[in-house]
Structure 1
Amino acid sequence: MKTKHLVSFVIFTLMSVVQVQAKTTLIHNIKGYTPTNNQGLKTFRVLAFREGKVVKIGNDETLKQFPEAIRIDGKGKTLLPGLIDAHGHVIGLGNNLLRLDLRGSRSIEEVGNKLKAYAQKNPVGWLVGRGWDQTLWPDSKFPNAKHLDKFISDRPVVLTRVDGHAIWVNTKAMQLAKINTQTTSPSGGEILRLYNGVPTGVFIDKAESLINKHIPATNRAQKERALKRAGEHLLSLGITSTHDAGIDHDTWQLYQKYAERQILPLRIYAMLGADDDKLTTMLEHGIIKDTQDFLSIRSVKIYADGALGSRGAALLEDYHDRKGHQGLMLETQPHLESLLVLSFKHGFSAHTHAIGDKANRIVLDAYENIFKTVGGKLLRNRIEHAQIIHPEDIPRFKSLAIIPSMQPVHATSDMTMAQQRLNDTQLQGAYAWQAFLKQGSKLAFGSDYPVELANPFHGLYAATTRMSRDEKPEGGWRSVEKLDRTQALRAFTLDAAYSEFREHKTGSLEQGKWADFILIDRDYFTVPHTELDDIKVEQTWIAGDLKYQKP
């Protein structure tokens, strides 16, 4: 009898736990907003969710429908769907948060002082950092190795430019990599040189590998620390899902391990790096989707050209500030097409980095050719960045069903530099968000962190104002391409979810979808535009679980 009673008690206890777990939770007294799949923007005062998914959104009458529900007073806060960053680099962000951060440095001297301080705290091995941008310096010129040698000469130093498309190294690093006047630039890369042919210490795009291959590889423990740190940071910014734009085989394994253990910090849609030597192995493993929608791997990230700031973006005409130079194609069109074929034959989408108008045209040509011969048009393929596009090529995104995956902060951080690099004719199709929307294209917005800061409210501000954070130029740069607040929010939520095949799972707070949402400190739709970038996240929830609480 004692055993029978014990079994009954255990069953009763388990049933009670299940009933508690299955209980509906109501967050009320909120200003709720959500885009929807077919009804535009909806507002609500109450959100009901159970077992991680939305049961209903409604008004105060909804409270009466769930008399037994757990109630949480939202205290008048604004509630939005969890934000989705459609283009970032998770491990890179985590590493940046753990390494030397040079973002915003206004001179070589400032970089050098930060480097010296970092070296004192990290007395052994290579010194690695990221974030310098010569366009912020007084003369806007690229630096050289001797500038770094003045600060650190006995240890190798490798500093990545803010956009990731150039590195600046000291003489010690070049010596260890055996770089000299006879070293040739690889296809798709450039070694900047002095008048006598001596390398300056700046290596652009594929030339970076001449140095980077000598840096000791990041081990698994370091990647796990970077993932943890990046996850904490993204959650604090209201990002519940992120697209990781190009992962290697080790990260591919790490994500699967974390997904199986259900310990990924947020939802991740990861793209396989096309340059990884184990790409075929990963493709043959097949598409990866977990039942809780925390991990999705079903696309390949391909690089077509470099970046505008380092003059690596491939242009149809010369750079306005460097005659005779039209940037760098990192892949030939035939090789791009072979990568598309490889991706499509395994059922994977292809997401291709293209910044310059020449690169965008070549990539569009490649997609069009392969769609005719192999198929793949329905795979929600994307062009990542799509920054400078010839106006004649914009309609091709719609006809080829290519999603422009763009980063609003690039427009406002690049605008001064872009006007130096390009003439007005070249800028006609630059950062053309409204042009894409008017033709019926869906926009997937992100930040390209750690190139830019990951804060999505900086992106929402940039998208709706086309101004820098100090409110210049008045009225916005090339303001015809500004978005309204609903359009911008949709690009960071529902349409970003569409671009990862999850618009029926995430991206909005509709019945049956995951209860991913954030509470913020002011009303996104009513605050003055000057305050949009100052919005702070108070809470971040994923699948009905509180993942971040503002201290």
Structure 2
Amino acid sequence: MLNRYRSWVLGIGMSCGVVCSAPAGMVLIENADGYTLNRKQQLVQFDAMAFDEQGKIRAVGHARALRKQFPTASHIDLQGKTVLPGLIDAHGHIMGLGVSALQLALRSTEDLQQAQRAIADYAARFPQKQWILGGEWNQANWKLERFPSAQDIDAVVRDRPVWLSRVDGHAAWANSKAMQQAGISRETPDPTGGKIERDEYGNPTGIFIDSAMELIDKVLPTATEAENRQALDTALQIIRQSGLTSVHDAGVSAPADYLFREYAKAGRLTVRVYGMIGGVGEFFDSIAAQGPFSSDADRYTLRAVKLFADGALGSRGAALLAPYSDAPQVSGLLFKSQQEMNAMVRKAAQQHYQVNVHAIGDAGNRQILDAFAALPASLRTELRNRIEHAQVVSPEDIPRFRTLGIIPSMQPTHATSDMNMAESRVGPQRIRGAYAWRSFLQQGSRIACGSDFPVESSNPFWGIYAAVTRQDMQGQPRNGWYSGQVMTVKEAFRCFTLDAAYAAHQENILGSLETGKWADFIVIDRNIFRIPARQIYQTQVLETWVAGQRVYRTGTSTAGSAEVSGTR
């Protein structure tokens, strides 16, 4: 199972180049089993849609009327297949997706011994690599009652440095050679916002949490431009096969921004990118001087900032108001003081950039809500600021999202990946404010759904399935995990379409199939509104269209999905 994801990514490409089809003139698709939302968020059915050569929708409705309205249009018969608006992932990492697909992946390993064999095999297959990089490991899936150690890697690779990130991206695992190259010793202090795991004698074990990862990251070889291009090309291929036509990239770096602009200008960006600048440092200062950016045809937009409040639940880096239930000596880590966070939020907001902050724990979420509360109300309303993940929230803080106008940007598959671990971390009381989609929806919050790929699969139908069932793909638990928080299919569809577009200030151009909007749509192999919920994750994307151009097509249903399961 280890290489299933990688073989799908690299083995199923498009046989017709980056753009499979770019019809000239007016195009009329008909004989479709189409669904979209209207501006009242009602589900609307249609069997035909017309779009022009600029890629804008001219009409949606029924074939008989549209044939009369557009008598010279080219016709595409979809033979009854289901058509949906292109799905939007409101939180992903595009370059990270491409990089992870090209590096060592341990996601599917079932125990430490299998992981060690995979590391040794990868090192043998790539003797020219100076560093062995990759990750996606999860000690919870290995049933390991501890973090792995440097000695565990040393047993199979000790001549080259090895650096492997945890599945949540908030911890990483080094061998002794990597620590040696970074100058890590017993005397190395824990950095602010991070932790070096140590043994009983105070020696580093090889596990670095949150900002402590930077101690190793700073000595890694810098990726070349050619490597960055390969990563982007790989990510774009995965994304269009997934049925995503837009991604909110949560942490755009300077090299990524350069490539996104170039690809957008050259017509090579086959997914729309809504970018969040990583932090408010020098890169933000250089970009903010020019103001928010949007390319021609809305392919690339840069008008948001991504900040971090805390770490992740799986590595116990998420900041909690009270100690972890399964580790009473630990409460997680807030990366910044309240004063520092308020200043960072204010700096971005005053430049009219939407502020989107990673917050997992209830203390992290409260800190960010307080930071947003300190902003002038006009900026909150204008910017539609967001909390990314909003994963464990004190029940008394949930209404504050609504009163402060903060969008909860949430990832449904996090719940089904975390459900075997989350309650042990926070206990039976706090868990009731965790992954609380129904609580947010009932108060009128608009949830922007995503995946956090490559932490989870980029397949949005896995996300819809998780939102609707709160079960794993074996249908467990039988009635769903805290099933009172499930979404309906329509609600899950909305959070991956219109509400995700709203969270990017793009609801007037994306998120639904309506006159005047971009013709971003997908053709799938089944009707998700009619099939049993347990089958939703099996949905296959047959075609992906962006601005009236087909960027992906498969003649079969062989395109697979990332192998993602278990806890984080």
| Partner of residue 48, structure 2 | 46
Amino acid at match of 2:190: S
| Partner of residue 563, structure 2 | none
Return the offset for 1:22: 6.0
| Partner of residue 290, structure 1 | 295
Separation in structure 2 between the aligned mates of residue 546 and residue 86 of structure 1, nearest angstrom:
22
Q: Contact between 1:86 and 1:243, CA under 8 Å: does it hold in 2? A: yes
Separation in structure 1 between the aligned mates of residue 61 and residue 280 of structure 2, nearest angstrom:
48
| Partner of residue 4, structure 1 | none
CA RMSD of aligned residues (A): 1.3
Spell out structure 1 runs of 4+ moving beyond 6 A. none
2:273 to 265, 268, 275: 268
Deviations 1:127-161 (A, max 9, x none): 00120001101234210000000110000000000
Identity over aligned pairs, percent:
45
CA shift in 2, pair 1:39/1:188, >3 Å: closer
| Partner of residue 61, structure 1 | 64
Q: Contact between 2:380 and 2:405, CA under 8 Å: does it hold in 1? A: no
Separation in structure 1 between the aligned mates of residue 313 and residue 326 of structure 2, nearest angstrom:
12
Amino acid at match of 1:511: T
Deviations 1:361-408 (A, max 9, x none): 010001101236x84442010000000000110110011110000000
Deviations 1:474-504 (A, max 9, x none): 1111111100011000100011001111100
Amino acid at match of 1:396: R
1:487 to 485, 488, 491: 491
Alignment of 1:183-198 (within 5 A): 183-198=188-203
| Partner of residue 564, structure 2 | none
Q: Secondary structure at the match of 1:366?
A: helix
| Partner of residue 9, structure 1 | none
Separation in structure 2 between the aligned mates of residue 415 and residue 398 of structure 1, nearest angstrom:
26
Return the offset for 1:275: 6.1
Alignment of 1:148-167 (within 5 A): 148-167=153-172
Return the offset for 1:438: 1.2
Separation in structure 1 between the aligned mates of residue 295 and residue 177 of structure 2, nearest angstrom:
46
| Partner of residue 532, structure 1 | 536
Alignment of 1:371-390 (within 5 A): 371=376, 375-390=379-394
Return the offset for 1:21: 6.7
| Partner of residue 419, structure 1 | 423
1:453 to 454, 457, 462: 457
Deviations 1:260-308 (A, max 9, x none): 2232121000100006542211221211112301010001000000000
Alignment of 1:507-522 (within 5 A): 507-522=511-526
Q: Contact between 1:457 and 1:532, CA under 8 Å: does it hold in 2? A: yes
Separation in structure 1 between the aligned mates of residue 50 and residue 333 of structure 2, nearest angstrom:
52
Aligned residues: 531
Q: Contact between 2:89 and 2:500, CA under 8 Å: does it hold in 1? A: yes
1:96 to 96, 100, 108: 100
| Partner of residue 5, structure 2 | none
Return the offset for 1:434: 1.2
| Partner of residue 17, structure 1 | none
Deviations 1:316-339 (A, max 9, x none): 111011012110111111111111
Deviations 1:178-201 (A, max 9, x none): 111111100110000000001100
Q: Secondary structure at the match of 1:315?
A: coil
Q: Which piece of structure 1 moves more, 273-282 or 344-353? A: 273-282
Q: Secondary structure at the match of 1:29?
A: strand
| Partner of residue 33, structure 2 | 31
1:350 to 346, 355, 369: 355
Q: Contact between 1:371 and 1:377, CA under 8 Å: does it hold in 2? A: no
Return the offset for 1:66: 2.5
Amino acid at match of 1:281: S
| Partner of residue 72, structure 1 | 76
Structure 1 position 83 matched with structure 2 position 87: yes
Separation in structure 2 between the aligned mates of residue 339 and residue 316 of structure 1, nearest angstrom:
22
Deviations 1:89-114 (A, max 9, x none): 00000001111111121111111111
Separation in structure 2 between the aligned mates of residue 211 and residue 263 of structure 1, nearest angstrom:
34
Q: Secondary structure at the match of 2:387?
A: strand
Gaps of at least 5 residues in structure 1 are: 1-19
Separation in structure 2 between the aligned mates of residue 324 and residue 405 of structure 1, nearest angstrom:
30
Deviations 1:310-362 (A, max 9, x none): 00000011101101211011111111111111111211010000000010001
Separation in structure 1 between the aligned mates of residue 482 and residue 278 of structure 2, nearest angstrom:
34
Q: Contact between 1:388 and 1:426, CA under 8 Å: does it hold in 2? A: yes
Q: Secondary structure at the match of 1:130?
A: strand
Gaps of at least 5 residues in structure 2 are: 1-21, 556-568
Deviations 1:7-33 (A, max 9, x none): xxxxxxxxxxxxx97632111111100
| Partner of residue 439, structure 2 | 435
Separation in structure 2 between the aligned mates of residue 417 and residue 406 of structure 1, nearest angstrom:
18
Structure 1 position 321 matched with structure 2 position 326: yes
Separation in structure 2 between the aligned mates of residue 276 and residue 253 of structure 1, nearest angstrom:
17
| Partner of residue 202, structure 1 | 207
Q: Contact between 1:228 and 1:265, CA under 8 Å: does it hold in 2? A: no
Amino acid at match of 1:23: G
Separation in structure 1 between the aligned mates of residue 325 and residue 280 of structure 2, nearest angstrom:
31
Amino acid at match of 2:483: S
Amino acid at match of 1:28: E
Return the offset for 1:39: 5.0
Q: Contact between 1:104 and 1:133, CA under 8 Å: does it hold in 2? A: no
Separation in structure 1 between the aligned mates of residue 494 and residue 289 of structure 2, nearest angstrom:
34
TM-score (normalizing by structure 1): 0.94
Amino acid at match of 1:435: S
TM-score (normalizing by structure 2): 0.92
1:114 to 118, 125, 128: 118
**Structure possessing the higher radius of gyration over alpha carbons:** 1
Q: Contact between 2:193 and 2:333, CA under 8 Å: does it hold in 1? A: yes
| Partner of residue 7, structure 2 | none
Q: Which piece of structure 1 moves more, 84-93 or 335-344? A: 335-344
Q: Secondary structure at the match of 1:506?
A: coil
Separation in structure 1 between the aligned mates of residue 418 and residue 426 of structure 2, nearest angstrom:
11
Q: Contact between 1:36 and 1:494, CA under 8 Å: does it hold in 2? A: no
Amino acid at match of 1:57: V
| Partner of residue 10, structure 2 | none
Q: Secondary structure at the match of 1:435?
A: helix
1:541 to 539, 542, 545: 545
Separation in structure 2 between the aligned mates of residue 477 and residue 270 of structure 1, nearest angstrom:
33
